[in-house]
Chains A and B, each alone.
Chain A
Amino acid sequence: MILIGELALWIALLMAAWSAITSFAGGRTRRLDLVMSGERGVYATWLLIVAASAGLWTALLTHDFSFRYVAAHTSANLPAIYTFTSFWGGQAGSLLFWALVLSSYAAVALFANRNRNRELMPYVSGTLATVILFFLATMCFGANPYERLDWVPPDGSGMNPQLQNPGMAIHPPNLYLGYVATTIPFAFAIAALITRRLDEQWLAAVRRWSLVSWFFLTVGITLGMWWAYVELGWSGYWAWDPVENASLLPWLTTTAFLHSIMVQEKRGMLRKWNVTLVVSSFLLAILGTFITRSGVISSVHSFSQSPIGSWFAGFLGVALVITGYLVATRLKDLKARAELESVISREAAFLYNNVALVGIAFSVLWGTLFPILSEWVRGTKITVGPPFFNTVNVPLGLFLLALTGIGPLIAWRRASPQNLARQFTWPLASGLTVAIVLWVLGMREGYALIAYALAGFVSGTIVQEFAKGIGARRSMHGESAGMAFVHLIARNRRRYGGYIVHVGIVVLFVGFAGLAFKKDYDVRLKAGETFTQRDPYGHQWAFTAQGVSRFETLNRKVTAVALQTTRDGERIGLISSEKRQHVDSRGVATFEPSTEVGIRTSLRQDTYVVLAGISEDESAELRISFNPLVVWVWIGGGIMAIGGMIVMWPAAERRRREAVYGAMLPPARTVEIAAR
């Protein structure tokens, strides 16, 4: 199996090259046999990559340490689940995983379009085959997962204990699934540019793929934040590290695209802009991979340095030149069919939403690349840290949050004063109420106060939209409120699923703003000593150290400190934090010691305890933090994912139903207008 896999990798390389050449040639010469051969080549490449992946999985699960990849990432005593996930844990394997996902997506996209978009498809399959070819070539000549050692180690070196966490097992594949999904819209955009068929047809074909990308990036980023928070012990979840930024960039441009696509559908505007966003999302995903792999920007996430970086830089450069040329020569075909009629209109709100999202993306990109840019321009590296990103992005983020509430309330084309008065009264009142209540309760942090007021405003908007929709359904169909709510979402998933995503955004901002009230304390406690402190809500906490315990278990030596905790005199329980030194079967230390954080989670705040070390007199060095509202960040991410799923869900069933009952039901459009 392993040998077959290795062979399959090389044949896949040839097959992808064949497919790329025949697809483009077939599209050019309009020869059907070449086009079909090209498409079949993509299916064949997919099967070969599946075989290559099966081979690597076999090597991993049978512990064949003669392969460098297996020896470097696993060990005989690693739990099977982590042996399985180590497939995408290292450089070469993650490239193979990327190729596996990409070729699977490509096969699905070609199959879904076997009877549709035929003029575009030769170039779509050609572009996809080219990208697959790049990844296969990178593997075969740069980082081969099938590289053999000239000796066989007795055991592998194991997996970093920090990566042995369920969140870490599923966080990277989610990000990859999101990154890779940007390739399909990119391929359609290239095909549309080449054929100059730049109407709305290609957009319809890619919208769902952009949603898939958005969905997996959202889930992947949220999981990454959660993992960093519970595993790394710095009591935060986002550090503006280059690799974190790299995952955020395509998310931002994809989010912008999912909004601006609506403007093009309704009004025929923003056609150049949409092509640019689709292309940028893909290029940013490649850039993100380049940043992660090359080590040109120092990051705590970096893979070991490898020549892969230059492969990605080269690919990025070529892709940038080709797409730049294509867009520049097609500007004429991308002329807008309508113009902005008023600044007080839905399309203007969408435009500002795009300005803010792309503005955030640009500032994040700028800050991430600044060390390189400053070295080019001035000869010295200058780095910017979290203060830079926060100063720029907090106001932009709040602006975006405000637009989340404004957009759905304004009419398309031109909003009348009556429309504004009718729509804005309740949401504004709700936001104002939140602001006043919090002010009276004594909250004085400016940004947090604005964030919560806007959260109240946006919630008001969403509630009002749902109330109107439910009201309309009840009066038209005589449904109960509950049924009307379910049907409202089911019948208009795109709109109301989108609102659910907005609910997630609001909850996310509530969690983010909680950081303004975070408190950290460095304390030193001997056994029996107590540290008392008021939390941000004014409750009195007491932490009593129970002394240091040392023990050995399974594959690690543990030093642990437990704190008996009370709040306002009421017993909460023990919170304990550990230092762990992982050891191999001979008791030799593997990897650096790791910290196990003690967290007590509640909806109001997390109490977060980190054991920094033990001093000579056996007192524990601890950092104790009160992190208000952190749990809402995870909840918000979850709500966004659910909303995304509602929007993505295939509409086939609904269409079938409507085809049958279509005559009896009022057309969907009437309902929508009534709902306004």
Chain B
Amino acid sequence: MHRGRGPRGHVNARVRFLIGGLLVIGSAGYLMASSIKETGEYYLTPSELSTKVARDASLIETGIQMGAKVVPGSIRREAGGRVVRFTVTDGAKTFPVVYRGITPDTFTDGVDVVVSGRLGQDGVFRATTLLAKCASRYENAPEKYKDTPGYKGAEASRT
């Protein structure tokens, strides 16, 4: 403990505080940098993934995330199992996906999904997590009622 109360003592306390602060910030920064390096994943669309893989084979069997749409009608649930097979696309490229686990309620034909996992040598994407994004989470476009038979009658009777 320093007993001096003069300006030197203040400078000293300031320096000590700064050293402590830098230690905290430094270790937090180190943890941030290292965990980004270890757990950060590419977020790619199917097209980006296929061009990247063609250029750089090291992307095979590394953790990546892919955002795409589920091809309608492609969802196959394996008999009795938790394994789901489906195809995703961004309109240009498609990838087959295998996912083991509980699928979210919003996972249906045509929804936007984010799958994270690894692309195998065989070109199949093995997903460990599956997030389904649903645009109608907060609202349904009323336009969908334009196609329902009940509505068309109503429209005819109104006009």
Contacts and interface: CB of A to CB of B under 8 A. Distances in A.
A377 to B, nearest CB: 12
Nearest to B129: A385
B144 A623 contact: no
Interface stretch (B28-36, B87-95, B119-127): B28-36
Interface string B25-57: 101100110111011111110001000000000
B150 A391 contact: no
Contact of B139 (A153, A304, A385): A304
Interface in A607-648: 610, 612-613, 615-617, 619, 621, 623
Contacts of B106: 592
A382 B39 contact: no
B39 A591 contact: no
B108 A343 contact: no
A259 to B, nearest CB: 15
Interface in A492-529: 522, 524
Contact of B20 (A154, A302, A343): A343
B13 A383 contact: no
A592 B134 contact: yes
B39 A384 contact: yes
Interface stretch (A246-254, A327-335, A392-400): A392-400
Given A339-B10, A341-B5, A163 B138 contact: yes
B139 A359 contact: no
Contacts of B114: 298
A300 B139 contact: no
A554 interface: no
Given A352-B24, A380-B44, A382-B42, A153 B142 contact: yes
Given A160-B136, A588-B148, A340 B142 contact: no
A153 B108 CA distance: 26
Contacts of A388: 32, 35-36, 39-40
Interface stretch (A18-26, A64-72, A313-321, A431-439): A64-72
Interface stretch (A8-16, A180-188, A363-371, A562-570): A363-371
Contacts of A586: 148, 150
Contacts of A156: 142
Interface in A598-614: 610, 612-613
B35 A391 contact: yes
A617 B138 contact: no
Interface residues of B, number: 63
A586 B107 CA distance: 24
B17 A340 contact: yes
A579 B103 CA distance: 13
B135 A304 contact: yes
Interface in B137-159: 137-142, 144-146, 148, 150-151, 154-155, 158
B138 A303 contact: yes
B40 A384 contact: yes
Contact of B14 (A152, A340, A385, A396): A340
A319 B82 CA distance: 50
Nearest to B67: A298
Contacts of A91: 138-139
Interface in A106-156: 149, 151-156
A289 to B, nearest CB: 15
B133 A300 contact: yes
Nearest to A366: B32
B17 A384 contact: no
Nearest to A156: B142
B146 to A, nearest CB: 8
Given A157-B144, A591-B136, A593-B105, A617 B80 contact: yes
B24 A342 contact: no
B105 A615 contact: no
Interface string B1-31: 1000100011001101100110011011001
B92 to A, nearest CB: 17
A197 to B, nearest CB: 27
A344 B16 CA distance: 10
B14 to A, nearest CB: 5
Given A352-B21, A612-B82, A381 B43 contact: yes
A649 B110 CA distance: 52
A383 B40 contact: yes
A524 B17 contact: no
B98 interface: no
Contacts of B105: 233, 579, 592-595
B43 A382 contact: yes
* Pairs A-B, 7 closest by C-beta atoms: A157-B140, A381-B43, A71-B142, A615-B80, A612-B102, A387-B39, A391-B35
14 contacts: A72-B140, A73-B138, A303-B138, A348-B17, A351-B17, A355-B25, A384-B35, A388-B39, A391-B34, A391-B39, A392-B32, A590-B140, A592-B106, A613-B103
Interface of A: 65, 68, 71-73, 89-91, 149, 151-158, 160, 163, 233, 298, 300-305, 339-345, 348, 351-352, 355-356, 359, 363, 366-367, 370-371, 374, 380-385, 387-388, 391-392, 395-396, 399, 417, 522, 524, 579, 586, 588, 590-595, 610, 612-613, 615-617, 619, 621, 623
Given A153-B145, A617-B80, 13 more contacts: A65-B142, A72-B142, A153-B151, A300-B133, A300-B137, A304-B138, A345-B13, A387-B35, A388-B35, A586-B150, A592-B106, A613-B77, A613-B103
